Structure 1
């Protein structure tokens, strides 16, 4: 029973890192994003192959270049090799949009999967290796602007820098 309970706790810890990964990209939280990877993690996104410590400034610059970004991850499957190592796969959808010359917002929607290896060091789970695979992408034209639509005034948030006033450290 103790092993099963520990495995559930470890799965939950890994799930939290996956959720934090998406959230910290969207809110431009550099430290939160760094806490998802071991600095020596091997990263392969195609456009970048190297160590996490070198990847983090690259990916955060890419995210900052997007006026809007949204990551949603799901379908996470985790398999443990030992008490301190695991493998996982999950699917992800990412959308990013930027202002166009005519004032509208447009961008792309991507679908892919994350193939991750995990290490637990000093009681903490982080990604030790990641391969990201893009399965598809679609253009996103004519996205809603940053001002609320007067006919249906939902709030909007322009997140272009770290430390947005609506960001809460959870």
Structure 2
């Protein structure tokens, strides 16, 4: 079945957008399989501290994420350029936080700002990242976080996301 080219472009852009959203969400919820589903296993990955294939990268990045007590990834400003029926490029900005609880119960960490330069490939009917270059633009420490206890933040529910399989996680 042949689709209208403009409709197909919208569907392809939507599928690529879903991969980017899944990337951030599966990092934060420590979903290894979901994270792996964002990349083709042979995808070339370069984060500076890591250069290799996605198959080798996913366990490394998930171990890094597990080493933080709390993490949060926000990606925005996604731009997509289609290069035909099975190739695309994208770029988006990312802001991420990572905190750890110290022995004194105070959380400390950093906030990072960078950009993701991705190449996508469609194999069969599925779009995934085939190449990723991450560029860190800036990093700064967060002020000490007094999470929980008395005060306005203490009444809010806080998730312990230190391991995979949280009961509030819903695969989507």
Length-normalised TM-score, structure 2? 0.95
Per the alignment, residue 23 of structure 2 pairs with 21
1:137 equivalent to 2:166? Answer: no
Aligned residues: 169
Structure 2: how far apart are the matches of 1:117 and 1:144? 40
Structure 1: how far apart are the matches of 2:97 and 2:146? 13
1:125 equivalent to 2:145? Answer: no
Per the alignment, residue 107 of structure 2 pairs with 105
Q: Residues 1-45 of structure 1: CA distance to partner in whole angstroms, max 9, x if unpaired? A: 800000000000000000000000000000000000000000000
State the Cα distance separating 1:107 from its structure 2 match.
0.4
Query: Which 4+ runs in 1 deviate beyond 4 A?
Result: none
Cα pair 2:105 2:146 within 8 Å, conserved: no
Structure 2: how far apart are the matches of 1:95 and 1:42? 25
Structure 2: how far apart are the matches of 1:139 and 1:149? 24
Q: Which moved more, 1:96-105 or 1:130-139?
A: 96-105
CA RMSD of aligned residues (A): 1.2
Relative to its length, the structure with more strand (as a share) is 1
Per the alignment, residue 6 of structure 1 pairs with 8
Q: Which moved more, 1:96-105 or 1:22-31?
A: 96-105
Structure 1: how far apart are the matches of 2:159 and 2:133? 31
1:35 equivalent to 2:42? Answer: no
Q: Structure 2: which 5+ residue stretches go unaligned?
A: none
Q: Residues 77-113 of structure 1: CA distance to partner in whole angstroms, max 9, x if unpaired? A: 0001111000000000000000123220000000000
Per the alignment, residue 79 of structure 2 pairs with 77
Cα pair 2:108 2:145 within 8 Å, conserved: yes
Per the alignment, residue 68 of structure 1 pairs with 70
Structure 1: how far apart are the matches of 2:122 and 2:34? 17
Q: Structure 1: which 5+ residue stretches go unaligned?
A: none
Length-normalised TM-score, structure 1? 0.96
State the Cα distance separating 1:149 from its structure 2 match.
4.3
